[in-house]
């Protein structure tokens, strides 16, 4: 097992087959937090060994998404503008795209054949499909293992000269791992503890394929993790079933002394129903499953992103961190730095977590109210410009001060503050019915003349003047204020009337009162 003094090196190794979804971001985050906490290195490696599923733009998306989240790789693909292709001090193991490391894997595959841990298999995909179908008809499952490998065309059954000939002339062959027939493999997982599996239930996985001269995940992953001196593999639970194979691979290569520790993270599940979270759920339930917006290059279909939906990256990350991990205290709000010091694999939860969009919104709300009025104004201004509202940053900041505790997103600001920028064009019928009585117009006229005399037009002065007038005439304060609000806001909502009045200033307030009378 890993030495205590071993340098911590972890990697996030996604496959560029589409946009990174929030489960992937969480895996990246946990890797990052772990590395940071121990002063280790966080590496971003791209596992693009599946030529058939490559999606243009996906790699760039992954890099951008991590950037937005504030998850900076120390090594590997550290940024869109700095893709390490050459070895240098910061990138001792370049390149970090597996497609560019092609040449490396074949020799390792052959090493395993040489040492008797693997063999060449000459089956075509079609012939295997046929075998699978035949087994299915008999209600059985075809497993490529010790029971069948001796009956198929492999380097284990064919004469050596024919094997050599076929290797030279044919393209349809692969290297398969020779899974031991009956061996208990005991593995250790940092989150789950000991797991034991008998190899009899496992199959002879393809390690390398001549068809595209590329390794499969299993080989590429083990070779790269070894070569890059990875100390801890933190990945999704979907990899747990192949952990025995990975253990056996380390053993076959003779790398057990530097074999990394493993930690398998539980999956993110659908908010409702069953199963793991998918793109469909987001569309169906109305929340993003991707950090950034994504347009599918083939279908042109657009998937929304947390960034575009108005989430702050800090809130997004905080929410993700608490999904499947907890600090053991009652603290819920964590900055990235706080997460770094609080995080620990020992407090990662074993069971799958159903994703909860409500909680995500709550996190954003918490972060929104910690922002300064000026910061929020800068974020709100573009929305205002879009609506053709000309205003100043100072005025907008003051408005933000009044509404920030009422919103979860900046995009909700307009709904809450339109009356600060434009006079009402319609009046809420229900509120009118309730608060607009036959005597109200007269009341408002009086109010207008009271306001007219207030100088300077400050909250205190207005409040004092209005209250004095109400008391002198023994008026109902509710009736006055509600009608006043209707004139200025157009509905029964909004900040304190005297604050609104000061911001809007005397002229505008009087104008809005007159419109209704």
Partner RNA sequence: GGUCCGUUCAUCUAAGGGUUAGGAUACAAGAUUUUCAUUCUUGUCAUAGGGGUUCGAAUCCCCUACGGACUACCA
Binding mask 350-389 for RNA (x = CB under 7 A): xxxxx-x-xx-xx---------------------------
Q: Which of 497, 504, 509, 513 binds RNA (CB under 7 A)?
A: 497
**Residue 130 Cβ vs RNA, minimum distance, rounded to whole Å:** 12
| Residues contacting RNA: total by CB under 7 A | 85
Q: Which of 38, 142, 253, 409 binds RNA (CB under 7 A)?
A: 142
Q: Could you give the CA distance from residue 59 to residue 13 in angstroms, rounded to a whole number?
A: 11
391 touches RNA (CB under 7 A): no
Q: Among residues 36 and 361, whose Cβ is nearest to RNA?
A: 361
**Residue 89 Cβ vs RNA, minimum distance, rounded to whole Å:** 27
DSSP assignment string, 229-259? T--EEEEEGGGGGGHHHHHHHHHHHT-GGGP
Q: Could you give the CA distance from residue 497 to residue 475 in angstroms, rounded to a whole number?
A: 17
Residue 84 in 3-state DSSP?
A: coil
Segment 38-97, which members bind RNA (CB under 7 A)?
47, 49-50, 52-53
CB 66 within 8 A of CB 79: no
b/e burial code for range 335-365 (CB count within 10 A of at least 16 → b): ebeebbebbebeebeeebbebebeebbebbb
Segment 450-469, which members bind RNA (CB under 7 A)?
none
Q: Is 279 a catalytic residue?
A: yes
CB 292 within 8 A of CB 65: yes
Segment 163-182, which members bind RNA (CB under 7 A)?
172-174
> Could you tell me the two tokens for 346?
């020992």
**Residue 88 Cβ vs RNA, minimum distance, rounded to whole Å:** 25
330 touches RNA (CB under 7 A): yes
Segment 232-291, which members bind RNA (CB under 7 A)?
237-242, 266-267, 269, 271, 274-276
412 touches RNA (CB under 7 A): no
| CA atoms lying within 13 Å on the CB side of residue 373 | 12
**Residue 385 Cβ vs RNA, minimum distance, rounded to whole Å:** 25
4 touches RNA (CB under 7 A): no
**Residue 38 Cβ vs RNA, minimum distance, rounded to whole Å:** 19
User: How is residue 129 annotated by DSSP?
Assistant: H
Q: Among residues 172 and 517, whose Cβ is nearest to RNA?
A: 172
> Could you tell me the two tokens for 160?
């050596």
Nearest to residue 371, comparing CAs of 340, 341, 403, 394? 403
DSSP assignment string, 149-201? HTTSSBTTTS-HHHHHHHHHH-S--EEEE---SS-EEEEEETTTEEEEEEGGG
**Residue 116 Cβ vs RNA, minimum distance, rounded to whole Å:** 21
Segment 105-134, which members bind RNA (CB under 7 A)?
123-125, 128, 132
Residues that are catalytic = 279
């Amino acid at each position: 097992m890993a030495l205590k003094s071993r340098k911590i090196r972890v990697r996030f190794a996604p496959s560029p087959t589409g946009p990174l979804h929030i489960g992937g971001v969480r895996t990246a985050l946990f890797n990052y937090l772990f590395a940071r906490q121990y002063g280790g290195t966080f590496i971003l490696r791209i596992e693009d060994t599946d030529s058939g599923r490559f999606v243009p733009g996906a790699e760039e998306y992954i890099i951008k998404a991590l950037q937005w989240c504030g998850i900076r790789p120390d090594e590997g693909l550290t940024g869109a503008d700095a893709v390490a292709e050459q070895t240098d001090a910061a990138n001792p193991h370049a390149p970090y795209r597996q497609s560019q490391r092609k040449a490396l894997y074949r020799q390792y595959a052959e090493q395993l054949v040489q040492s008797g841990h693997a063999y060449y298999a000459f089956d075509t995909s079609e012939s295997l499909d046929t075998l699978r179908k035949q087994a299915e008809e008999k209600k059985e499952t075809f497993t490529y293992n010790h029971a069948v490998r001796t009956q198929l065309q492999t380097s284990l059954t064919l004469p050596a000269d024919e094997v050599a000939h076929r290797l030279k002339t044919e393209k349809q062959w692969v290297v398969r791992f020779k899974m031991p027939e009956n061996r208990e493999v005991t593995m250790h997982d940092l989150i789950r503890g000991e797991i034991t599996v008998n190899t009899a239930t496992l199959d002879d996985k393809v390690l390398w394929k001549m068809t595209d001269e590329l390794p499969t995940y299993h080989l590429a992953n083990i070779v790269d993790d070894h070569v890059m001196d990875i100390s801890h593999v933190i990945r999704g639970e979907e990899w747990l079933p192949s952990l025995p194979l990975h253990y056996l691979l380390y053993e076959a290569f003779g790398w057990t002394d530097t074999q990394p520790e493993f930690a398998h993270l539980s999956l993110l599940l659908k908010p409702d129903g069953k199963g793991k979270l998918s793109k469909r759920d987001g569309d169906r339930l109305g929340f993003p499953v991707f950090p950034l917006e994504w347009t599918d290059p083939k279908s042109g279909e657009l998937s929304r992103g947390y960034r575009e939906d108005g989430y702050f990256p800090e809130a997004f990350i905080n929410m993700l961190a608490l999904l499947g991990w907890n600090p053991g205290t009652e603290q819920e709000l964590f900055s990235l730095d706080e997460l770094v010091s609080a995080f620990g694999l020992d407090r990662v939860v074993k069971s799958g977590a159903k994703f909860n969009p409500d909680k995500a919104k709550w996190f954003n709300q918490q972060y929104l109210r910690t922002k300064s009025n000026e910061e929020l104004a800068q974020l709100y201004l573009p929305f205002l410009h879009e609506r053709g509202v000309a205003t100043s940053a100072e005025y907008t900041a003051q408005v933000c001060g009044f509404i920030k505790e009422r919103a979860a997103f900046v995009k909700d600001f307009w709904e809450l503050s339109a009356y600060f920028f434009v006079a009402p064009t319609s009046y809420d019928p229900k509120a009118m019915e309730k608060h607009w009585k036959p005597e109200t117009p007269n009341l408002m006229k009086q109010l207008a003349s009271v306001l007219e005399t207030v100088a300077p037009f400050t909250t205190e002065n207005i409040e004092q003047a209005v209250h004095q007038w109400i008391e002198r005439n023994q008026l109902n304060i509710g009736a006055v204020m509600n009608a006043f609000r209707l004139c200025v806001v157009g509905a029964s909502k909004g900040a304190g009337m005297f604050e609104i009045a000061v911001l809007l200033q005397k002229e505008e307030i009087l104008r809005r009162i007159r419109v209704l009378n």
